[in-house]
Amino acid sequence: MKFIDEVKIHVKSGDGGAGCVSFRREKFIPFGGPDGGDGGKGGDVIFRSDTALTTLMDLRQHPHQKAERGRNGMGKDRHGANGDSLTIRVPVGTLVKDDETGEVLADLTEPDQTIVLLKGGRGGQGNARFATSTHKAPKFAQPGEPGQECWVRLELKLMADVGLLGFPSVGKSSLITKVSSARPKVADYPFTTLKPNLGVVSYKNYRTFVMADIPGIIEGAHEGAGLGHRFLRHVERTRILLHLLDPCREHDSNPLHDYETLNRELAMFSPELAEKPQIVVINKMDLPDVQALLPEVAPYFAERNIPVFPISAATGEGIPLLLDEIARQLWGAPEEEW
């Protein structure tokens, strides 16, 4: 299934049904007496988060969503039926914004969270409602109120505890494959990952946390370079960022320059995102060249009190210690105390 994380749709609640003008046929009663029923209420537009969904693709294919209108009133004091509400199911983590103003109308961060976005129009009253002692045969009724409508923009922000960041080909997909059941595409060329991937990591004592693999970010992403920064929204909700570095990513690459460059891109996208706790991970420790460069890199992070974990996503070296540190930062207690 194609991953779609942003769509623009038009939503409209149901119109209210019209009231009825009707008269009974009874002797000695003017016009038989009014007996027009009320119109039914239009359906609401409801958004509900659904854990079974991971993309907004269905809504991109159906951008116009409309609730059912209320039925008109009828004679013999019969009221029209209310229109069925329209429930739009979206993935957990979806933001609903007004497309014109950018105002956030709803933020669905919990499973089965429900929000009534648009109310259906009220049904009109039938002429039976307007009969009085001085006006016994009203020949008018109310029309139904029109429903509400607007264009909204839906933005999906994945719900994860840990976000993987790094330049292309540093081993993010290899790491999430090693620690979870996620199976993103892994290859030896840049931008192998074209969409975010989620993996559930099983830890000790049946504890679990969710890790998000984000497509590689490069310098100039905030200006649209590479895949741009559109995928960074998926780590805005994470509690911890794992910053993966590959000291031998390119022949003339500098891991410290990579680290500073990516953090600048984070700050340009969102200052709050740049302030999130980070764990630096030096990947590909199974390679002699990386082992030789580690002593040159480690002091830089030690001076800034940033934890550094050398690992190999290929062999699994160092990963248990990394998971222990993630668990400590997420849950704040040693494993034996849980």
Q: Tens digits of per-residue pLDDT, 126-178? A: 999 999 988 888 999 999 999 999 999 999 887 788 988 888 777 888 888 88
**Do 131 and 224 fall into the same domain?**
no
What mean pLDDT comes out for the span 99-110? 92
Contact 29, 128 (CB under 8 A): no
Q: pLDDT tens digits for 230-258? A: 677 777 888 898 988 887 766 556 788 88
Locate 93 and state its tokens.
Answer: 């983590």
User: What type of residue sits at position 247?
Assistant: P
Contact 322, 278 (CB under 8 A): no
**Do 94 and 226 fall into the same domain?**
no
Distance CA(316)–CA(155), nearest Å, equals 35
Evaluate whether residue 307 is within a structural domain: yes
**Do 204 and 324 fall into the same domain?**
yes
Residue after which a domain boundary falls, among 156, 173, 208: 156
**Do 137 and 169 fall into the same domain?**
no
Question: For 36, phi and psi rounded to 5 degrees?
Answer: -75, 130
Q: Pseudo-torsion of CA 50, 53, 57, 63, nearest 10°?
A: -10
Residue after which a domain boundary falls, among 122, 138, 156: 156
Longest dimension (CA), the chain: 107
Q: Which domain holds residue 311?
A: 162-337
**Do 215 and 94 fall into the same domain?**
no
DSSP 180: S
